[in-house]
Amino acid sequence: MKDKLTISSWSIRIIVAGLFIISALGKIFPDPSMYGTISTFEVQQLYPMGFSEMLAKYFSRSLIGIEFSLGILLLFPFNLKKWVIPSIILMLAVFCVHLSIELATKGNIGNCGCFGNLLPMTPLQAIMKNVLSIGLLGLLLWKHDDVLPKKSNYLAMSNIITACVLAMFMLIPIYKKPTGVLVSTPNGSDTTAVVQNPVTPSTDVTTTLANPKDTVKTPEKPIGPKQKKSGFAKYYANIDEGKKLLCFFAPSCEHCQATAKELTEMRKSNPDFPEIQILFMDEAPEEIPNFFKFAGATYPHKVLEIIEFWNAIGNEKNVPGVCYLWNGNIMKFYEGTEGKNQFNKSDLKLQLQKTKK
């Protein structure tokens, strides 16, 4: 009987530990050094709760480190009944409360971020997962008390937690904002102009394209929808004139780079292609030259501070974002990397061919 309880105890511990470890790894998937899930987690989960940009960075890395360490500690024999299991139950309960509020206010939509982009889950699915985990841990305390290790070692516990938290800060360092901004020169070369202060929101970083063929065209005035204000004129004064494409990109995001490359290819094959203007998230702005090198062309762009960037694109949306505007009307807004709203160049081609009296 005791052997069966031991096997059952280890099964529960391995399952819950695996969920915590995968959850922590998912938040930094696929590459912690580049733009990824942790920024989305900070913006879509922490900013709405009142966290400042810097506090969100420290909190997110600490939280992921603690989450990872609790998963590891569940497999160790130290202080399981007194600290480890109750701490995990408390964390899951807090997550359930937060997810319940989201479910009540926003509905069962979007990715809750529990497993990052590795395993997207809706808030309801995440609540069910957390409740199941709490139930398993409760069963562990209730039925498996006799077979749970009773060892106590606070030094080992603190070392594991500290090591995991520090590892997150090493994997995802918090960079100081650069003091230079990218400027595109008329001959197509990129130089860095040193300024006295870091990049500020809505800072123009280029208005010149790489070659004469890329010069900004005077917008046509086709018959289209009634003129209106899109709300983006504070970034580009001519955004509501004729057809425009306003793109929301993160410089180090591979999906954003691929989307920019597709837009360049479409533009080369269509002389009447709308003007492309870009709003970059102020994360790894030093990657902008490589971004345009991969895209195959340089476009007018501005760098927005992270919070302002997400306010502009909308906290419920994700990058890459491509907004097709006609006379200030949002005709189509592509966003994210999955689902029906992700960028599709064939669909954009059809959208551009449509006429509206």
SS3 string of 278-320? EEEECCCHHHHHHHHHHHCCCCCEEEECHHHHHHHHCCCCCCC
Same domain, 194 and 167: no
Which of 129, 148, 171 is the C-terminal boundary of a domain? 171
What is the CATH classification number for the domain harbouring 322? 3.40.30.10
Tokens 């699915």 sit on residue = 125
- In 3D space, the residue among 209, 210, 205, 207 whose CA is nearest the CA of residue 182 turns out to be 205
Same domain, 200 and 334: yes
Same domain, 136 and 197: no
**One-letter amino acid identity for 93?**
A
Q: Are 337 and 237 in contact (CB under 8 A)?
A: no
pTM, 2 dp: 0.64
Same domain, 270 and 209: yes
Same domain, 147 and 186: no
Residue 212: the pLDDT is 47
Domain count, the chain: 2
Angle between helices 53-73 and 2-26 (to 10 degrees): 160
> For the chain, which ranges sit under pLDDT 70?
1, 30-37, 40, 175-223, 356-357
Same domain, 130 and 217: no
Residue 30: the pLDDT is 65
Same domain, 125 and 196: no
Residue 222: the pLDDT is 52
Which of 171, 199, 217 is the C-terminal boundary of a domain? 171
Residue 32: the pLDDT is 61
Domain holding 116, by residue range, is 2-171
Same domain, 150 and 106: yes
Residue 356: the pLDDT is 59
Both tokens of 58, joined, read 């420290």
Burial class (CB in 10 A: 0-12, 13-18, 19+), 119: middle
Which of 117, 145, 171 is the C-terminal boundary of a domain? 171
CA distance 137 to 90: 11
Same domain, 185 and 166: no
Q: Where are the alpha helices (DSSP H) in the chain?
A: 2-26, 37-41, 53-73, 85-106, 123-143, 154-171, 254-269, 288-295, 306-313, 345-353
Tens digits of per-residue pLDDT, 259-276? 999 999 999 999 899 999
Same domain, 212 and 322: yes
Both tokens of 286, joined, read 């030093």
